[in-house]
């Protein structure tokens, strides 16, 4: 019963991220003088609605998604305050506002997490564990890790991700040592066994703590958001190129399960740990949502931005009927993909493995 309750909480939190995204469009549209016909939380049939001046505020039955419907957004309109009649620069701001709002929300989540820490993890090696493997192959105390197999390192999160991407047990490092960059090739990584008996990489070095003050707190927050944004793009590229299977991709159902598992794991220690686990997952999802929506794909905010950039360059809008066709095709593709991922998530939940094994 508690598992179902946690999943419901996770779905609510995911809905919250969508609402914040759409709220970014809403606020920017209002500030730009664009008429908003409806601001909806959820999708599907309307459960409750209230009209406030020119805008209908509605709550819909399916707690996934939401939208901000602006006058003249997808059709011709003679309304002087329609989206299509706003300047191209205002429309650009409105389009990107959703993704920016998700990044801002992720920034807030990260600030809450870091605020509780006594210090922050750096990328400078302070010591090695007993019988360390990496120290035998060239890494030294005092080295600041700059790259692992070409992947830029700014935070300890980058170190964890770069090593997690490894399919073998060696890596090429670039470190800063005594003020100079040093390349160390073919570093053998320490390994161990996971609960299923598989051989996995086990980090065998510790890093220096960064003393917490206002400057380091703000810097670490920015760096962590940057690291997670980069991580999202890299993960997406590896999925597109086939390096990651589709089972690595999750939709709302899969994300709900991840949040539920994180909360359950945290509760084994204490309530605060569970909350922080959830905040960390929400931060990652919020960054991903912001990044994904700004990709130049039809029907996404990034796809709309492409048409606005074309308009700004040629000083003439692309015919709305042609743009609408492109976005409709993109929306159908996205919908099919979401349905597939959702079905795959449910299948993984029931059988333990998805359609791709």
**CA–CA gap between residue 18 and residue 241 (Å, rounded):** 28
Q: What is the DSSP string of 35-87?
A: -EEEEEEEEEEEEEEEEETTEEEEEEEEEEEEEEEETTSSS----TTSGGGS-
Tell me which residue has tokens 């100079």.
Answer: 180
Determine the angle formed by the axes of helices 271-293 and 252-267, rounding to 10 degrees. 160
Long-range pairs for 258-261: beta carbons < 8 A, 24 or more residues apart: 258/10, 259/6, 259/9, 259/10, 259/13, 259/14, 260/3, 260/6, 260/7, 260/9, 260/10
Enumerate residues 6+ apart whose C-beta is below 8 A from 124: 142, 143, 144, 145, 207, 208
Q: Using an 8 Å Cβ cutoff, are 42 and 63 in contact?
A: yes
What tokens appear for 171 in the block?
């890596």
What tokens appear for 85 in the block?
């009649």
In the chain, helix, strand, coil percent, each to 5?
55, 20, 25
Phi and psi based region of residue 249 (left: phi greater than 0; alpha: psi -120 to 50; beta: remaining): beta
Task: List the beta bridge partners of residue 207.
Answer: 125
Question: Beta 191-193 vs 119-128: how paired, if at all?
Answer: unpaired
Which residues have a catalytic role annotated? 22
């Amino acid at each position: 019963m508690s598992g179902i309750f946690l999943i419901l909480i996770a779905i609510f939190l995911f809905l919250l991220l969508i609402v914040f995204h759409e709220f970014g469009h809403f606020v920017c549209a209002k500030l730009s003088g664009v008429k908003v016909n409806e601001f909806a939380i959820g999708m599907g049939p309307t459960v409750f609605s209230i009209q406030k001046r020119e805008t209908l505020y509605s709550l819909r039955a399916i707690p996934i998604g939401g939208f901000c419907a602006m006058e003249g957004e997808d059709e011709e309109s003679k309304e002087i305050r329609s989206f299509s009649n706003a300047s191209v620069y205002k429309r650009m701001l409105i389009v990107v506002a959703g993704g920016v709002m998700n990044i801002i929300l992720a920034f807030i989540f990260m600030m809450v997490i870091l605020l509780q820490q006594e210090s922050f993890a750096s990328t400078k090696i302070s010591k090695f564990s007993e019988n360390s493997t990496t120290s035998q192959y060239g890494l030294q105390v005092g080295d600041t890790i700059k790259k692992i197999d070409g992947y830029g390192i700014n935070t300890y999160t980058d170190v964890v991700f770069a090593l997690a991407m490894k399919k073998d047990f060696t890596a090429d490092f670039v470190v800063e040592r005594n003020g100079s960059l040093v390349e160390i090739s073919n570093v053998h990584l320490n390994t161990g066994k996971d609960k299923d008996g598989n051989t996995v990489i086990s980090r065998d070095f510790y890093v220096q703590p960064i003393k917490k003050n206002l400057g380091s707190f703000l810097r670490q927050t920015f760096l962590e958001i940057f690291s997670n944004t980069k991580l999202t793009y890299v993960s997406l590229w590896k999925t597109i190129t086939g390096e990651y299977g589709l089972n690595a991709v999750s939709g709302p159902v899969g994300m709900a399960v991840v949040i539920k598992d994180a909360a359950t794991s945290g509760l084994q220690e204490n309530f605060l740990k569970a909350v922080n686990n959830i905040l960390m997952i929400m931060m990652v999802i919020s960054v991903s949502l912001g990044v994904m929506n700004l990709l130049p794909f039809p029907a996404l905010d990034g796809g709309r931005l492409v048409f606005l950039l074309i308009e700004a360059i040629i000083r003439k809008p692309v015919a709305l009927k042609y743009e609408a066709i492109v976005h409709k095709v993109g929306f159908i593709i996205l919908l099919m993909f979401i349905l597939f991922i959702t079905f795959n998530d449910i299948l993984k939940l029931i059988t333990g493995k998805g359609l791709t094994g």
